[in-house]
Amino acid sequence: MSINSVNRSRKNPFLRRLRRFWSIPIVRIAAALVAIIITISFIVFAFKGCGNRDVEVSETSEESVTDVFLEESVPELSLPEEESVAPLPTPWKYNSVENISDVINSNYGIIINATTREVLGGKNHSQLIYPASMTKIMTLIVAARSDLDLNAPYTMDYRLINKYYLAEATITGIQAGDTVTVKDLLYGAILLSAADATAAIAEIVAGSEEAYVELMNKTAQEIGCKNSHFTNTSGLYDESNYSTLGDIALMLDYAMSIPLAAQILAEDEYVTPPTPKNPEGYKFVGTMFSRISPDTVKGMTVAGGKTGYLSETRHYLASMAISDNGEKYIVVTVGGQWPYTPINDCIALYLKYNGGTNEHD
């Protein structure tokens, strides 16, 4: 600054007061704080401006802002296929049901194209029936939808064995005190139709059979089985344990859409790993595929199913077959006089409505 400038500032009273005011320490501190605040505000404003420009650009792209954010900040979680919940089935269409009384010998029967959802033929198909071991299809569904550890150990309880032995129900043959896995119990429940296995599964999943039955009834309503009610997990006779052929077909249709349940329903036999009391393991041979093979009907593949028996209504069968063109068919027959009656009825219906041929013809 020049001497003339200094002299002019000294002669200017306003500048002299301003210099005195600026010499006060607190004024300088306040000014510094204001400068800091202004600087921070400018930085924040500039940052927001950049963010707004990013949003405008992303809105013109194929991905939404939300999708981009989630992709960058949260890794996508993929569940194993068997743990995912299968889509709920759509109802059957009873538009034109042909009478199949002259085709089958069982007292009740139904055949459905599960792909088109059309009920093709029926015999007493709308009547309430006792589902017998068809009940176990719902037992399997509830278990397959739960978060069961298939490899978890379970020690067979003499209490369950004795209960169902006295009831003359089928049991697994697993010795009391022997340890198997949850997976072993599921196969025993379906292939052998073993009541001790279903009771054990119920206690593992829900703590008691009563609590498990509540889950079965809730699930039945959820998937559209409007005319079914369960009182036990095994299908032992009870007047309040009832269903219809259409509901049983819907249960099988839904079960076959769950990978774990479909795998079990499609097996013909299963051997457990060695156990403490049985080094060779327990062998379970299914009753369905011991009577019918997957390729019995040419042009179709029998994919899975479940047999049943009740002294009050005799022999049962629920099965699914897939035609060579990919369409799925479900047959349920109830009240066959002999063990092979439902099998022969099943084959007859597949032949009639899919146009295949019996391999023995």
Taking the complete model, does pTM exceed 0.85, yes or no? no
Alpha-helix runs per DSSP H in 155-303:
158-166, 182-191, 195-206, 209-223, 245-255, 259-265
Beta-bridged to residue 314, according to DSSP, are 310
DSSP state of 206: H
The residues spanned by each domain of the chain are 3-73, 96-358
pLDDT at site 27: 61
Q: What is the pLDDT of residue 18?
A: 56
Query: Strand, helix or coil at 350?
Result: helix
pLDDT for the residue 16:
59
pLDDT at position 103 is 97
- pLDDT tens per residue, range 200-228: 999 999 999 999 999 999 999 999 999 99
Whole-number pLDDT of residue 38: 75
Residues of the chain predicted below pLDDT 70: 1-28, 30, 41-85, 355-361
The pLDDT tens digits for 132-147 are 999 999 999 999 999 9
Considering the domain 96-358 in this protein, what is its CATH number? Answer: 3.40.710.10
Instruction: Mark out the alpha helices in the chain (DSSP H runs).
Output: 3-11, 13-22, 25-59, 65-73, 135-145, 158-166, 182-191, 195-206, 209-223, 245-255, 259-265, 341-354
Sign of CA dihedral 167, 168, 172, 175: positive
